[in-house]
Amino acid sequence: MSTTAKTGNMQQLAADKKFLVDPYLDWANGEGIPIHEDFGFDLLALETAPWDRYEARGCFAHAIGRGDFMSCYVLEIPAGGKTRPVKHLYEAFFFTLSGHGSTVVWTPDGQKRTFEWGPKAVFAIPLNCTYQIFNGSGREPARVSCTNDAPLTINLYHNLKFVFENDFTFEERSGDSKHFDGEGNFIPVKPGSHMWETNFVPDLTNFKLEELEDRGKGSRNIAFILAEGTMHAHSSEIPTGRYKKAHRHAAGTHVHAVTGEGYSLLWYEGDSEFKEIPWRHGIMYVPPFWMLHQHFNTCPEPARYLACSLGSRRYPFIALRRRGAEGAAQTSMSKGGRQIDYEEQDPRVHHKWLSEIDKNGVKSDMSDIFDEAAIRALKPDQLTGVIRTPTATMPNL
């Protein structure tokens, strides 16, 4: 039997026998808006269409690496427009791609919380609270990216009325009233796990980050606890003339470029070529499960990104996230972790980066780590073959 015939039979079984049903995808297909599928996206350029659920415009951005639990959609609010009030039982983190506006949240204590946002703000809606989003401009549309765990929630309950019309209130999710005002609480833990608890960050561009040298020279980072959620978010900064160390983790981490320009390389152990994703503000992509990836700044200013995934620093949710927070994420693969230290990486990595920053007139600040003259002198036959990765001493998910 051909593959096409097998696929057709499986689809018919799904329709007739409720076999291999995916309630989330059924819901997405029924919303009447475009569903874009790719490795990554320019969220500012994706086609949208009227979305009755929000009474605005929208589209789904289904990245290949999104896994089983996480997803993303884009909301576009027309100039002078607003969404209708909505609520849902899945967690949602919003990142402002363009425009200025405000959001109203009705909290379980009967209060009406309003905050204003601009480009590169991030905010979370406390679980199952009704909210409404307003575009503050009468001339330009506003776009926001919504990273969410709707696949987990809808597939778990497979009842849309329960997910979108549930009256249960989660009083503990609203947080301190100042968390809607752009304020928060710094919770020191350790490098890589320091937390900022809030519901709203007005601008990720200049938000104070903490040192995280283990992830790369001059790397800075902060983890967010947003609306007491199970979803995770963190912002990281790559200084000028530097880049991060490669690592790997679970599926579903939606990476949004915030400031600067650069690229990311992705590969699996045993690959002979890298997959490259150039990025700037508006680009979002999701590394698939256990695929190694590495982020590079190529511009004359620091570069920042926002990463959203399942399993927060407070509520890891899955064992893979817990092990990462305990230290595996910043430990070399040769020692049972998930990271490739600079001295262990393939020489092609640094060679390519030097070529890219040369194009932009950026000077390397990595010469104290690498013999850059020797790397620049590598010949073409030395830049081919299986990508070199350190051998893990033990599997450590």
List the chain domain ranges.
Answer: 12-177
Tokens of 233: 């978010």
Tokens of 116: 């204003």
CATH number for 12-177 (one of 2.60.120.10, 2.60.200.30, 3.40.30.10, 3.10.450.50): it is: 2.60.120.10
Instruction: Write the single-letter amino acid at 245.
Output: K
Q: pTM for the whole thing?
A: 0.93
What is the chain's pLDDT, residue by residue, as a tens digit (397 residues)? Answer: 444 555 556 566 556 668 999 999 999 999 999 999 999 999 999 999 999 999 999 999 999 999 999 999 999 999 999 999 999 999 999 999 999 999 999 999 999 999 999 999 999 999 999 999 999 999 999 999 999 999 999 999 999 999 999 999 999 999 898 999 999 999 999 988 999 999 999 999 999 999 999 999 999 999 999 999 999 999 999 999 999 999 999 999 999 999 999 999 999 999 999 999 999 999 999 999 999 999 999 999 999 999 999 999 999 999 988 998 888 888 999 999 999 999 999 999 999 999 999 999 999 999 999 999 999 999 988 899 999 888 755 445 5
Give the whole-angstrom CA distance, residue 256 versus residue 290: 19
Burial label for 18, CB within 10 Å (0-12, 13-18, 19+), is exposed
> Under 8 Å CB-to-CB from 329, ≥6 apart: which residues?
192, 215, 247, 249, 337, 338, 339
Tokens of 346: 């393939």
